Amino acid sequence: MEIRKKLSRSLLIVFITHVIVLSGFAQNMAERYEEKIDNTIQSMTLKEKAGQMTQITLDVILKKDGDSLIEPHQIDEEKLRKAVVDYGVGSILNCGGHAYPREKWLKIVSTIQNMAIKETRLNIPVIYGIDAIHGMNYTTGATLFPQQLGQAATWDPKLVKQAASITAYETRASSIHWNFSPVLGLGRTPLWPRFWETFGEDVHLANVLGEAMVKGYEGESISGKEKVASCMKHYAGYSMPLSGKDRTPAWLPERMFREYFLPPFQKAANAGSLTAMINSAEINGIPAHTSEFLLTDILRNEMNFKGFVVSDWEDVKYLHDRHKVAATHKEAVKMAIDAGLDMSMVPNDFSFSKYLIELVKEGKIREERLDKSVRRILRVKYALGLFDTPVTYPEDYPKFGSEEFRKASQKTAEESITLLKNKHDVLPLPENANVLITGPAANSMVPLNGGWTYTWQGLETDKYATDKKTILESLRNKLGKEHVTYAKGATFDSVLSLEEVKKKASMADYVVLCLGETAYTEKPGDINDLALSQAQTDLAKTAGQSGKPVILVLTEGRPRLIREIEELTDAVLMAYLPGNEGGPAIANIITGKVNPSGELPFTYPRYSNDLITYDHKHTERIDATNGENAYNPQYPFGYGLSYTSFEYSDLKINKDAFKEKDEIKLSVKVKNTGKREGKETVQLYISDHYASVTPSVKRLRAFEKIALKPKEEKTVTFTLKPSDMAFVGRNNKWITEEGMFTAKIGGLEKEFEITK
């Protein structure tokens, strides 16, 4: 409360120049912002403008002993004064290497804001940013959801929006107001170590879920104390490196770039996303941070994006250090500003500000160019209500870490988990089943959460999530401790004791085999092969040779190959990275309390070098014998089984031919023909018979997830426009061509024509 009082007193200074009447008319709010921003910019010095465009990491202002941060972390007031008062930095990000309690966040952020308000000439609050990508994962006790790829597997925008809304609430409860999320790149290169941060390989799925996530973060009014600014990242093409390695070159023809990689960003911008973070890598030899084509021509002029653009970590410096397009760091700053950068995540020093001031004084950058960026930054700060409420307080957020939020996380995890195989209906397990659970993912929270969890790489999650249940603990809760034995068998990379696994498997009725990946993100997650480690493969073979039914549970951020061991299993569950409630969710699926309804948001490959997506071209179907069996994944995009069965019938279309402004209405009946309630995602695919650019075999154009009781039947209707069949043509412009198309839903097909 003392912090609240001190900050409230200091706000009196701000009210003199920055009073905002929140009860006024909404339509005049933007004008009031602009007038205040105009006045502020006119009174700003060059140094103050450069400062607003500078972002540093928290480490810069924390006390150190040599090169190491002092624990517990404490702000060094002289360092803070240098950053906020002397350099006038506009933004700070990150944590000091690990998560904090909310009270610690309050102390950190309020100390920063108090100095920004009391000791600077213009009293402009700092905007604080964090990577809260699956919940407020840098605050202890927060609700952690499945990572984004798992959320995509729910195929449910309502759940994605709810997760984002809860994340926004708990981020504001931590006194932070800017979230570096969502990732809007397409996951079309499974080697990429940030694959699990995407919504999967399909552009339409990413469009729908990305829009839902932005609306969850920002809501109807971003100034509300329960919402945060979202950040579209990483604009654009970052997710498609040719090598599969993080921050390495992408080679993307403009036509493909526009058709596949830009639409999710356009959709998010239309939804009101306030900020964008730039692709750390390069496209066709041009680093994104130097591309006026990307940052100005497309983002500003074509997409009409109004927010501000921030670099990723040290990426302006990397134009000199790594990309080798700038001869000096100073030249790198000029290139980025000329391209359209608004804020530099420097983040460890003030060099960006220093060089920017020099460039303006030398006449190499016009000061009016800085005004544009500062205006964009101030707009976001005003929109967030930071001039009125620079800090929020934990006691104002009673639902933080609540049972309500925990249940929402578990439900999302349950609806993400995807049943890929269920031979002879081995699942769900009977109540009295005796089970051996084995594998490196069986008794740890680390592989349930992945990276960006309490720490950057997520490797210390077991230390923080002590109140959460692993898969082993959750199964023991469901089946009874006496019915569940445990033998780890192997780590992710080395064998421990296969003999123990053999012995305990001989005394069990079933083996639950928990394999996958440990936590990682970015460059530390680079791999050379999608194959599971030899240790995990050996463990799987040992389990398979036991003669007992094997249930394989995969907790992984990308599809690791299981071709060699899949035939040894009786059931396969893809759990992705299901978050802190992943253990109970998996146990509920295995024991049948919950009927699985997740479906793959990507194509699960069978071979390391056969990474063909579902929307492949017709030539990619042809094999060496000129047959059509080349597309042969382990499991296809959109695939997922249930403990019940569904039947599709009576596919109808309202007409046979459609003109430009017509509505295309398709309906289909879906019936639950099994004995238990279940959910089914009805997926509409369209195939273009012939086009001036080679068409895909099929493209997802609409989907809807429905719940059906046993024997219940529902009619699902989709409404499209001819423009929904548009593609980017040879001239790099969107075009809808005349011709024949086939609609495909649940094994049923219906042809239609688009005419002039």
Cα 278 to the center of its chain, rounded Å: 15
- CA 236, 242, 246, 249 torsion: positive or negative? negative
423 and 381 within one domain: no
CA dist 693 → 197, 201, 255, 735 (Å):
30, 20, 10, 10
Of the candidates 396, 430, 449, which is a domain's last residue?
396
100 and 31 within one domain: yes
Residue 611 lies in a domain: no
Of the candidates 591, 624, 652, which is a domain's last residue?
591
Q: Residue 240: pLDDT above 70?
A: yes
Residue 52 lies in a domain: yes
Find the range with the poorest average confidence among 146-155, 194-203, 321-330, 386-395. Answer: 386-395
CA dist 647 → 235, 635, 701, 708, 720 (Å):
41, 20, 21, 11, 23
The contacts found for 545-548 with CB under 8 angstroms, 24 or more apart, are 545/502, 546/501, 546/502, 546/505, 546/506, 546/511, 548/436, 548/505, 548/508, 548/509, 548/510, 548/511
pLDDT at residue 33 in the model: 85
pLDDT at residue 4 in the model: 52
C-alpha span between 456 and 453 (Å, rounded): 7
Average per-residue pLDDT in the chain?
Answer: 94
Q: What percent of the chain has pLDDT over 70?
A: 96
Residue 625 lies in a domain: no
C-alpha span between 63 and 69 (Å, rounded): 6
pLDDT at residue 518 in the model: 98
Q: Residue 31: pLDDT above 70?
A: no
C-alpha span between 325 and 61 (Å, rounded): 31
Q: Residue 558: pLDDT above 90?
A: yes
Round the CA-based radius of gyration of the chain to a whole number and report it.
27
Query: Where do we find the tokens 């990723």?
Result: 312
Per DSSP, which regions of 496-576 are E strands? 510-516, 550-555, 571-574
Question: Cα angle vertex 493, ends 492, 494, to 5°?
Answer: 110
Give 405-423 pLDDT, tens digit per residue.
Answer: 999 999 999 999 999 999 9
747 and 653 within one domain: yes
C-alpha span between 315 and 655 (Å, rounded): 53
108 and 156 within one domain: yes
pLDDT at residue 3 in the model: 47
100 and 35 within one domain: yes
156 and 52 within one domain: yes
Residues present in the chain in total: 756
| CATH for 421 | 3.40.50.1700
Tokens of 588: 């509920």
Q: Buried (b) or exposed (e) across 382-419, using 16+ Cβ within 10 A?
A: bbbbbbbbbbbbbeebeebbeeebbebbbbbbbbbbbb
Give the bridge partners for 715, in sequence order. Answer: 669
CA nearest to 267, candidates 310, 210, 217: 210
Cα 437 to the center of its chain, rounded Å: 30
Q: Residue 700: pLDDT above 70?
A: yes
When pLDDT is averaged across residues 79-91 and rounded to a whole number, the result is: 98
Q: Buried (b) or exposed (e) across 43-80, using 16+ Cβ within 10 A?
A: ebeeebbbbbbbbbbbbbbbbeeeeebeeebbbeeebb
- CA 672, 676, 682, 687 torsion: positive or negative? negative
Residue 560 lies in a domain: yes
Give 479-492 pLDDT, tens digit per residue.
Answer: 999 999 999 999 99
539 and 682 within one domain: no
Number of domains in the chain: 3
Residue 147 lies in a domain: yes
When pLDDT is averaged across residues 300-327 and rounded to a whole number, the result is: 97
When pLDDT is averaged across residues 634-641 and rounded to a whole number, the result is: 98
205 and 308 within one domain: yes
Of the candidates 363, 396, 429, which is a domain's last residue?
396
Confidence of residue 621 (pLDDT cuts 50, 70, 90): confident
β pairing state of 308-310 and 418-422: unpaired
When pLDDT is averaged across residues 388-397 and rounded to a whole number, the result is: 94
Give 102-133 pLDDT, tens digit per residue.
Answer: 999 999 999 999 999 999 999 999 999 999 99
Q: Residue 755: pLDDT above 60?
A: yes
CA nearest to 95, candidates 141, 135, 62: 62
pLDDT at residue 11 in the model: 41
Give the bridge partners for 277, in sequence order. Answer: 310
Please enumerate in sequence order all residues whose Cβ is within 8 A of that of 607, keeping only pairs 6 or more positions apart, or say none. Answer: 561, 563
Number of CB atoms found within 10 A of residue 615's CB: 20
* Under 8 Å between Cβ of 235 and 279: yes
Give 127-166 pLDDT, tens digit per residue.
Answer: 999 999 999 999 999 999 999 999 999 999 999 999 999 9
Cite the active site residues.
Answer: 312
Confidence of residue 15 (pLDDT cuts 50, 70, 90): very low
Number of CB atoms found within 10 A of residue 371's CB: 16
Amino acid letter at 453? T
| CATH for 99 | 3.20.20.300
* Under 8 Å between Cβ of 487 and 504: yes
When pLDDT is averaged across residues 663-680 and rounded to a whole number, the result is: 98
683 and 541 within one domain: no
Of all helices (H) and strands (E), which one includes residue 205?
helix 203-218
569 and 506 within one domain: yes
Q: Residue 699: pLDDT above 50?
A: yes
Find the range with the poorest average confidence among 1-10, 263-272, 316-325. Answer: 1-10
Residue 629 lies in a domain: no
314 and 223 within one domain: yes
pLDDT at residue 30 in the model: 55
141 and 12 within one domain: yes
pLDDT at residue 630 in the model: 85
- Domain range enclosing 476: 417-591
pLDDT at residue 106 in the model: 97
Residue 612 lies in a domain: no
| Helical spans, DSSP H, in 510-652 | 534-544, 563-566, 582-591
Residue 599 lies in a domain: no
When pLDDT is averaged across residues 169-194 and rounded to a whole number, the result is: 97
